[in-house]
C-alpha cells in the first residue's frame, strides 16, 4: 500500500507558500501539505514535539521544501538539526529560496541538502519549478524505506 505523499513547506512568505501549495495541489502531487512559517515550527513538526507530538517518526514527509531566511531558526540551522539526527537524516530536503548567495549554496550542500533551487521571480516560472520539484521528489524518486526512520 503506497504511503500518502506529504510535503513540509517551510516558508515565512505567505505569497510564496500560497503559490507553492496551489501548484502542488493543481498538479495533484501531494496528498497533504503542511506549512511551517518559521524554523522553530518546522523543527517541532519534524521532531514530533510540541503541538506536533501526535506525529510519528515513521511517517516522515516525502520532501521538505526549505526556505533559508526564516524567523526564529534559520533554514540552515533547520537543515543542520535534521541531518544531525539519525531518525530524520534520510528525509529529502530541497532548499527553495530567494537567496542567490554563493555561501548559502555551499553551506546548504555542505550540511546535506539534496537540492538547492533559487525561487524564480516570474509567476509561471515559479509554478513550473514547483511542478518539477514535486514530480521528481514525490513521483519519480524512490523514497527511503520507513525502516530507516526511528521509532
* Domain membership flag for residue 23: yes
* Domain membership flag for residue 1: no
Stretch 37-48: mean pLDDT: 96
Q: Is the pLDDT of residue 29 over 80?
A: no
Structural domain boundaries enclosing 80:
6-148
Residue 103: CATH number of its domain: 3.40.50.2300
Q: Which residue has the higher pLDDT, 27 or 25?
A: 25
Stretch 102-112: mean pLDDT: 95
* Domain membership flag for residue 139: yes
pLDDT on residue 28: 80
pLDDT on residue 3: 54
Contact 101, 109 (CB under 8 A): no
Q: Is the pLDDT of residue 1 over 80?
A: no
pLDDT on residue 125: 92
pLDDT on residue 4: 63
Average pLDDT score over the chain? 89
Q: Is the pLDDT of residue 95 over 60?
A: yes
Contact 44, 52 (CB under 8 A): yes
* Domain membership flag for residue 45: yes
Question: Which cell numbers hold the place of 9?
Answer: 513547506
What DSSP line would sit under the chain, residue for residue?
Answer: -PPPPEEEEE-S-HHHHHHHHHHHHHTT--SEEEEESSHHHHHHHHTT-GGGTT--TTS--SEEEE-SS-SSS-HHHHHHHHHHSTTTTTS-EEEEES---HHHHHHHHHTT-SEEEEPPSSHHHHHHHHHHHHIIIIIIS-PPPGGGS--
* Number of structural domains in the chain: 1
Q: Which residue has the higher pLDDT, 150 or 99?
A: 99
Amino acid at each position: 500500500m503506497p504511503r500518502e505523499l506529504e510535503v513540509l513547506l517551510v516558508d515565512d512568505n505567505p505569497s510564496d507558500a500560497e503559490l507553492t501549495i496551489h501548484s502542488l495541489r493543481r498538479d495533484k502531487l501531494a496528498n497533504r501539505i503542511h506549512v511551517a512559517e518559521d524554523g522553530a515550527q518546522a523543527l517541532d513538526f519534524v521532531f514530533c514535539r510540541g503541538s506536533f507530538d501526535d506525529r510519528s517518526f515513521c511517517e516522515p514527509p516525502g520532501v521538505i521544501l526549505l526556505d533559508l531566511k526564516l524567523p526564529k531558526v534559520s533554514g540552515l540551522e533547520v537543515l543542520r538539526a535534521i541531518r544531525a539526527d539519525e531518525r530524520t537524516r534520510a528525509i529529502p530536503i530541497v532548499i527553495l529560496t530567494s537567496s542567490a548567495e554563493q555561501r548559502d549554496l555551499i553551506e546548504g550542500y555542505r550540511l546535506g541538502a539534496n537540492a538547492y533551487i533559487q525561487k524564480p521571480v516570474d509567476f509561471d516560472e515559479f509554478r513550473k519549478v514547483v511542478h518539477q520539484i514535486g514530480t521528481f521528489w514525490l513521483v519519480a524518486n524512490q523514497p527511503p524505506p520507513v525502516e530507516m526512520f526511528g521509532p
